[in-house]
Chain A
């Protein structure tokens, strides 16, 4: 989806604002929504791609106005309702509906202590053959899918060089919509700054993107 989240190349967002001695969480609620989000995702009702796409579906004005964890709060509320785990009434009142079933939390303290970060399956899969190899010239497809994608607009239609085959990964464009994992090779593709941004860009600079087989064609 061509959305405001796909920001690479915008120029009107102002200077980067830094904060000295920045805390990990700026308020206790940020840590709690972080934990809630991880706990809910551990239930397996939605995957990381679905989760990312839900953030992309925020109205653009809200997306830009909200802080990072305000977005997390909003989309976890939305996902809970969308997947039938919580009713809109429960969300509004903060108490379970009468007769609401009691579940068992998927993420316990013991599991949380062992598990940091994301669980990604092995990228080694000899069953899946790559379409490209290191050194080959490729072009990122000119495509405008209306769902989730990890091919940024600024690279579409541009030519680059495969520098490395990262192995096999789940395809976010289908996985986000529960249309299958469609596992395929992901490559580090190097694009020259001039190819991406024109002749005013530095002749020495480059941007590397990690791109799935389905995003690429031979150049």
Chain B
């Protein structure tokens, strides 16, 4: 079933990808300008800052939060973060008695339009294997303490739904505006491996 094909192309991925791209461009299968756009999009335009603005808006605007929890794609699109069509997203809310954690045990599913591409640890065997069987142990490795009486809800992204955690707003942020709040929100908090640190506290 597995074909172990050996070939003459160099094993260095830099050279192999270069050779592949030039072949595909010559054959008219790939437009290099489209590749430039995609790389630029994820390096400069789409990333966790998008998600942080969504979270900050939900913290300051209860009506927005309600819309976000009921229909995440539409509420996220209100802030201008659209994914073309059809990215199916859900927001799960942390609270004093519930902590949510997102994983994809089978591959690497992740909410691209709001968080960008996933970090290496999210795609790693260690995280994918243990987040479901030992979520509290994984959380401790991220320095996140979740009390015994708090329910940990793990979300394994097995279908086309993509999950974003709405973290708790840290204490001592009553006087911050939306922009300042967004600056506090980390990618890790929106995956659920961390909490949002209070201002001046280390993430």
Chain A residues close to B by CB (< 8 Å): 5-11, 13-19, 22, 24-29, 31-36, 38-40, 43, 52, 55, 57-59, 64, 68-70, 73, 76-78, 80, 85-86, 88, 90-96, 100-105, 107-109, 111-123, 150-152, 154, 166, 169, 186, 188, 190, 193, 196-197, 202, 204-212
Contacts and interface: CB of A to CB of B under 8 A. Distances in A.
B22 A112 contact: no
A33 B21 CA distance: 8
Interface stretch (B53-61, B149-157, B169-177, B178-186): B149-157
B128 to A, nearest CB: 5
B24 A11 contact: no
A22 B24 CA distance: 30
B35 interface: yes
Main secondary structure of the interface of B (DSSP, over half): mixed
Interface of B: 1-5, 7-9, 13-14, 16-24, 26-31, 33-39, 41-43, 46-47, 82-88, 103, 105-108, 112-113, 116-117, 119-121, 123-136, 138, 141-142, 148-161
A191 B67 CA distance: 27
B23 A18 contact: no
A36 B20 contact: yes
Given A22-B119, A57-B1, A94-B22, A207 B156 contact: yes
A69 B17 CA distance: 11
